[in-house]
């Protein structure tokens, strides 16, 4: 389904963290469809990342895979260096990598807490910092985009909906909300836009248990007024719009792409 101009992002260079699977892969495909060159960042599954690069290339797009752990400063700096050495700069960062390490609170280990914070929050900081440094170095190139750069953080409806049993994850996404807004306020005068997408329930590996059986899916659908589980490309389309000049006056905001999940509770007639 092609729902936007194929040249919306022509000439722009994008990096998508955790780009080889799920939502990240759909974002890579969507950005490439809109004309951007795309770095598919991956943590460990090189085959999956290379396969996606091949698919984008077969579709007429340009992409390359770069390994990096977003929670490691040296890895993140190496990844940005490699991208900038190869393609000259970056206009779009989609900081998508994220993990869950679920546990009842009284059983949650410090490792489970730290891993989620390191990837979901520190990873956002490390990647956004490298992006801002490069956006500031280069400045605005009007033929390419009205903005010097765009950062899109992949958050979650659990940045505002509490999530019992997932305190580490909800805390990381809630923290990301203020990270995104404060950074947006700080860098707006440099013509850098920072926004977030908060997906609801999207059919990917991270939440397989919530949709893989008919019973689980029926339970999930009770929370979604639009009565369907989301597709990764639902998020890809939002990312294209936030990355494009069509959203040039939008910064510091979150788009809830959730089929109405945040309109809780009691949406159904008769309770």
Nearer to ligand NAD, 135 or 256 (CB): 256
Say how far apart CA 156 and CA 56 lie, in whole Å: 26
Q: Does 207 bind ligand NAD (CB under 6 A)?
A: yes
Closer of 20 and 251 to ligand NAD (Cβ): 20
Listed in sequence order, the residues at least 6 apart from 171 whose beta carbon sits closer than 8 Å to its beta carbon are 117
- Of 19-27, 31-39, 80-88, 136-144, the segment contacting ligand NAD by CB under 6 A is 19-27
- Please say whether the beta carbons of 256 and 215 come within 8 A: no
**H or E element at residue 22:** helix 22-33
Q: How far is the CB of 245 from ligand NAD (least distance, A)?
A: 25
Lookup: tokens for 264: 């809780």
* Residue whose structure tokens are 């974002």: 27
Active site residues: 169
Distance between start and end Cα atoms, the chain: 36
- The window from 91-99, 124-132, 144-152, 181-189 that contacts ligand NAD (CB under 6 A) reads 91-99
- Contact pattern for ligand NAD over residues 121 through 160, marking x by CB under 6 A: ---------------------------------x-x----
Least distance in angstroms from the C-beta of 64 to ligand NAD: 16
Residue 193: HSE in the Cβ half-sphere, 13 Å Cα cutoff: 24
In the complex with ligand NAD, the residue whose CB is nearer, 141 or 210, is 210
Q: Considering only the stretches 31-39, 90-98, 131-139, 241-249, report the one whose residues sit in contact with ligand NAD under the rule CB under 6 A.
A: 90-98
Beta carbon of residue 78, minimum distance to ligand NAD (angstroms, whole number)? 13
Q: How far apart are CA 44 and CA 224, in angstroms?
A: 33
Residue 49 has, within 13 A of its CA and on its CB side, a CA count of 20
Q: If DSSP codes are grouped into helix, strand and coil, which group holds residue 190?
A: helix
CB of 111 to ligand NAD, least distance (A): 14
Applying CB under 6 A, among 16, 24, 53, 112 the residue interacting with ligand NAD is 24
Query: Element (H or E) spanning 95, and its range?
Result: strand 92-95
Contacts to ligand NAD by CB under 6 A: 17-18, 20-24, 43, 69-71, 96-99, 119, 154, 156, 199, 201-202, 204-207
């Amino acid at each position: 389904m092609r729902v936007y101009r194929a040249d919306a992002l022509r000439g722009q260079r994008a990096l998508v963290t955790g780009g080889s699977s799920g939502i990240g892969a759909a974002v890579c495909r969507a950005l490439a469809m809109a004309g951007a060159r795309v770095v598919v960042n991956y943590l460990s599954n090189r085959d999956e990342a290379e396969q996606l690069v091949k698919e984008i290339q077969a579709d007429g797009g340009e992409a390359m895979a770069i390994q990096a752990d977003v929670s490691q400063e040296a890895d993140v700096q190496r990844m940005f260096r490699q991208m900038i050495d190869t393609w000259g700069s970056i206009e779009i960062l989609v900081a998508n990598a994220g993990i869950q390490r679920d546990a009842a609170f009284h059983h949650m280990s410090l490792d489970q807490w730290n891993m989620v914070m390191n990837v979901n929050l520190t990873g956002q900081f490390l990647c956004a910092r490298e992006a801002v440094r490069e956006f500031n170095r280069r400045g605005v190139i009007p033929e390419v985009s009205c903005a010097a750069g765009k950062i899109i953080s992949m958050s979650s409806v659990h940045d505002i909906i509490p999530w019992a049993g997932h305190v580490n994850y909800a805390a990381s996404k809630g923290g990301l909300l203020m990270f995104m807004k404060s950074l947006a306020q700080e860098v707006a005068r440099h013509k850098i836009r920072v926004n977030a997408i908060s997906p609801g329930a999207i059919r990917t590996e991270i939440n397989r248990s919530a949709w893989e059986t008919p019973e689980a899916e029926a339970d999930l659908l009770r929370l979604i007024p639009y009565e369907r589980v989301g597709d990764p490309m639902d998020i890809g389309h939002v990312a294209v719009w936030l990355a494009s000049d069509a959203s040039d006056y939008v910064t510091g905001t979150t788009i809830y792409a959730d089929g109405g999940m945040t309109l809780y509770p009691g949406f159904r007639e008769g309770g």
